[in-house]
Amino acid sequence: MKTGKKLGVGLIAAALAMSAIGCANNGGNTASPASNATNKPADSKTEKVKILYSMWGSAAEGSTTQAVADKFNASQDRIEVEVQAIPWENYMTKLNTLATAGQLPDTGMLQEGGVIQWSSEGMLNDVSAMYEGSDSKPLDSLAYKHQGNTVAYAAANEILLLYYNKDMFDKANVPYPPAALDQAWTWDEFVETAKKLTIDKNGKHSGEEGFDSQSIVQYGTSVENLSWQLETWALSNGGGFYSEDGTEVRIGEDASIEAIQKVADLYLKDHVAPLSVGQTDDGIQRTIIAGTVAMATNGQWNIGTSLNTAKEEGLKYGVAVLPYLKDKVTLNTGGANVVFSQTKHPEEAMEWLKWYNSEENNWALISSGIWMPTLDKWYKDETFTRKWVENPNFPPYEEYKSAVVDYAQSDAARPAAWFYTNYTTDFNTLLGSVLGDVWTGKATAKEAITKNLDALKAAHAGSK
Amino acid sequence: METVNKLPKRRSRFYSSEARVAYICLIPAFVGLIFLTYLPLLGVLGISLTNWTGLKAPEFIGFDNYVKLFTTDPYIKDSIITTIYFAVLSVIGSMIYSLFIAMMLNRKIPARSFFRAVFYIPYVLPAVAIYVGWSWLYEGNFGFFNYLLSEVGLNKIHFIADSSYVVPSLSLISVWLAGNLIVIFLAGLQNVPNVYHEAAEMDGANGWQRFRHITLPCMTPIIFYNLLMSLIANLQVVTPALALTNGGPGNSTRFLTYLMYDQAFVNYKIGYACATTLIIFAILAAFTVVLFKTSNRWIYNEGGDDK
């Protein structure tokens, strides 16, 4: 026993000593970027400037992007871009580690929720000058702004839409939802239509005499209730999650709460929607593709990521603009391409990004319907629009042009909160947890939000 | 006299060389333990006293993280309660279930080894596939269980979408997964001396009496082992939250390990997550100590009390 104890003491002592050394090593690491810095300029005098670009994706996706970068490398003789692909699951963790070590790439992709946080910690370069003197700029709603400066542009555009199953509408002899913004449905029209499309096993519709909400076989609609998408309805009702500059929390206002309750009531009161408690991010698969729901809201990317395959298997779907409460609103979003502040070559990094962000270089993602272009010429110039949309991967041209292309450049399109607000990940996680019992009707939106308003404000302030 | 003297000497030489070999053989294990377990553990303690986010150099902030956790954190209280609730349900459920199945499988039934495999299979299936499969059974609108319920005219139950049902529903999966406990129980049951049963039978003891007074006492060391392992595993639950519920609805499945994962790898509050880790550690340690302290009272030791 005695030797055991001594051994134990020895181990702890050794462990303490090692951890002290570990700390010293950490201290040493911070010095390494400086030594890198002294090496780099020396290289660039004789050779091309080397730019390291990081992206999320598999090794195969990395080599596809490298092939694109090689075209860029061959097109001029000053900049050499190397692509580093990091798996999506580890992407932000890996970048965090590299940031700590002072070894970030020069430029790279960044998840939506991280941009303003990284900028507020001084990790990003201002990219306002990137499109100076260009004939086509990204849509205004696609710039990430922190304290008035543009710190990133979205790599792609996405907006929220209303998808619908054409066969279900035809069968019920109900007109399709409108693709044109000026004909957008009010919320009440939307709910009325959803009732006509909700059928129980005896063929009764929601609201009819004898309708049994426990044996519904087809639901009229499903409004996605992931936290960030819910902001659409709060904004549409004249409220919002945050003030326009992102500094104040507005979710406690009646207009915001009422909008969230309306979404919950689709299941609870109107009996036109299946229960969804925001646990998984597969709304379109669960609804339109599963063939159980006639209309569902979600992002444009679903056309490329899942609806195309379903279409080949016989699904007839259409796209429409979202219904509205008071104002017509859709959110747009897109992961960012940033220039890290640790780079010694911001100009060259921006030049590469600008070249790479031109749609021709992301054509596979755009033509398959996963990404929408960011530059405004694709929305404003019909020849470009036709080049983009007249493609069997998309719904009919007129329908998509109206419900997506025109919608995306209209006043209704507003940037998602992470374009201008910090700590949206914290806030959205907490909001999702706060609303858990609202979807099942155990609490009202008013009770849940009022009770947790201080915590929501603290999450928004980053002081959780 | 000589032989008496020689013997201990030879013995000690023998032991010391054996000890030397033992220490040499243990070195790799010690190195592994020190560098992969104890140093990181100390590291976690150190980081938990900082505000490290992974981006900037960490600043020492004393016990601020702990103060925040216990005063303003919106999740930790629900998280501790729900973790313990889940662990208690799962441990009790899986102990009863696996002991029962093991006793069934210990009988001379036809195709016994086939059934042994059947009950062990869930344990070796890939976790995510299991949870996705169960999610189809549990789905609130069109899931299989709800289909059955509506066929017999009952109201639907939102197994994993309702905060009152979600923890019992997930515990049920965890019970169903307890194939490893069954195997250990089976091994234990085969060690219960048959002579006791024969003697008791002769004295006219019925099945329940034999179970209560022979099987159960003989099995207490195995029960203790399974209880401990199952408790530790279930207090560290995270997979169902990651695969099925994302911690919801509400906080009803925001288990401690999931909370820590979320803090560290979604929100990058690494210092804060380390503080949470140590709270998980303290809870695990507390449960383990209580279990050990009370074990002497109910564990039957065949060789008598050798401590």
Digit-coded pLDDT (tens) for A209-237: 889 888 889 999 999 999 999 999 999 99
Output the six-digit token pair for A29: 């690491």
Contact A19 B162 (CB under 8 A): no
pLDDT tier at A42, thresholds 50, 70, 90: very low
Torsion of CA A355, A360, A365, A370, to 10 degrees: 90
The predicted structure's pLDDT at residue A12:
44
Please enumerate in sequence order all residues whose Cβ is within 8 A of that of A237, keeping only pairs 6 or more positions apart, or say none. A255, A256, A258, A259, A262, A325, A326, A327
pLDDT tier at B203, thresholds 50, 70, 90: confident
Partner A, chain B 44-103, Cβ-Cβ below 8 Å: 46, 53-57, 68, 72-75
Of B244, B249, B251, the CB nearest to A440: B249
Across A11-36, average pLDDT: 39
pLDDT tier at B14, thresholds 50, 70, 90: low
The predicted structure's pLDDT at residue A463:
63
Dihedrals phi, psi of A359, to nearest 5 degrees: -55, -35
Across B106-113, average pLDDT: 84
- Type of residue at A179: A
Chain A residues with CB under 8 Å of B252 CB are: 436
Q: What is the CA angle B75-A255-A459, rounded to 5?
A: 25
Across B244-268, average pLDDT: 88
**Highest mean pLDDT (candidates A255-264, B71-80, B117-126, B230-239):** A255-264
pLDDT tier at B9, thresholds 50, 70, 90: low
**Which tens digit of pLDDT belongs to each residue from A437-457?**
899 999 999 999 999 999 999
Contact A100 B245 (CB under 8 A): no
Pairing of strands A330-333, A158-165: antiparallel
3-class DSSP state of A317: strand
B38 touches chain A (CB under 8 A): yes
pLDDT tier at A11, thresholds 50, 70, 90: very low
Alpha helices in chain B (DSSP H): 2-33, 39-47, 64-71, 76-105, 112-124, 127-138, 144-151, 166-176, 179-190, 194-202, 207-210, 216-235, 239-240, 256-265, 270-298
pLDDT of residue A31 exceeding 50, the answer is no
Contact B246 A30 (CB under 8 A): no
CA distances from A86 to A83, A91, A115, A283, A403 (A): 10, 6, 18, 27, 35
Alpha helices in A112-245 (DSSP H): 115-120, 166-172, 187-197, 227-236
**Which tens digit of pLDDT belongs to each residue from A298-329?**
999 999 888 988 999 999 999 999 999 999 99
Give the minimum alpha-carbon distance from B247 to chain A in angstroms, rounded to a whole number: 8
Decide if A45-157+334-389 and A159-325+423-460 have a common fold: yes
Which of A6-20, A52-66, A367-381, A423-437 shows the lowest per-residue confidence on average (mean pLDDT)?
A: A6-20
The predicted structure's pLDDT at residue A19:
42
Chain A residues with CB under 8 Å of B162 CB are: 440
B32 touches chain A (CB under 8 A): no
Q: What percent of chain A has pLDDT over 90?
A: 59
Contact B74 A430 (CB under 8 A): yes
Q: What percent of chain B has pLDDT over 90?
A: 40
Mean pLDDT for chain B overall: 87
Of B252, B265, B268, the CB nearest to A436: B252
Output the six-digit token pair for A407: 């919608």
Query: How many Cα atoms occupy the beta-carbon half-sphere of A362 within 13 Å?
Result: 19
Give the fold, CATH level 3, of A45-157+334-389. Answer: D-Maltodextrin-Binding Protein; domain 2 (3.40.190)
pLDDT tier at A365, thresholds 50, 70, 90: confident
Cis bond upstream, residue B249 (ω within 30): yes
The predicted structure's pLDDT at residue A58:
83
Query: CA-based Rg of chain A, rounded to a whole angstrom?
Result: 25
3-class DSSP state of A1: coil
The pTM score is 0.81
State how far Cα B112 lies from the chain centre. 27
C-beta of residue B73 within 8 angstroms of C-beta of residue B269: no
pLDDT of residue A27 exceeding 60, the answer is no
C-beta of residue B305 within 8 angstroms of C-beta of residue B257: no
* CATH number of the structural domain B76-298: 1.10.3720.10
3-class DSSP state of A51: strand
Chain A residues with CB under 8 Å of B57 CB are: 30, 100
Helix (H), strand (E) at residue A216: strand A216-222
Give the fold, CATH level 3, of A159-325+423-460. Answer: D-Maltodextrin-Binding Protein; domain 2 (3.40.190)
C-beta of residue B173 within 8 angstroms of C-beta of residue B240: yes
The owner of tokens 């999650």 is A241
Contact A279 B163 (CB under 8 A): no
The predicted structure's pLDDT at residue A24:
37
Of B43, B72, B246, the CB nearest to A280: B246
pLDDT tier at B210, thresholds 50, 70, 90: confident
Q: In what order do the strands lie in the sheet containing A79-86?
A: A79-86, A49-56, A107-110, A336-339, A149-154, A143-146
Q: What is the CA angle A337-A280-A207, rounded to 5?
A: 120
Whether this model's ipTM surpasses 0.85 comes out as: no
The predicted structure's pLDDT at residue A46:
56
The predicted structure's pLDDT at residue B136:
87
Q: What is the CA angle A188-A194-A197, rounded to 5?
A: 150
Across B5-19, average pLDDT: 64
Give the minimum alpha-carbon distance from A390 to chain B in angstroms, rounded to a whole number: 37
Domain parsing of chain B, residue ranges: 76-298
Across B10-25, average pLDDT: 77
pLDDT of residue B16 exceeding 90, the answer is no
For residue A252, the tally of other CB atoms under 10 A from its CB is 16
Mean pLDDT for chain A overall: 86
Domain parsing of chain A, residue ranges: 45-157+334-389, 159-325+423-460
Across A168-190, average pLDDT: 95
CA distances from B47 to A94, A183, B36, B278 (A): 18, 57, 16, 11
pLDDT tier at A29, thresholds 50, 70, 90: very low
Pairing of strands A49-56, A107-110: parallel
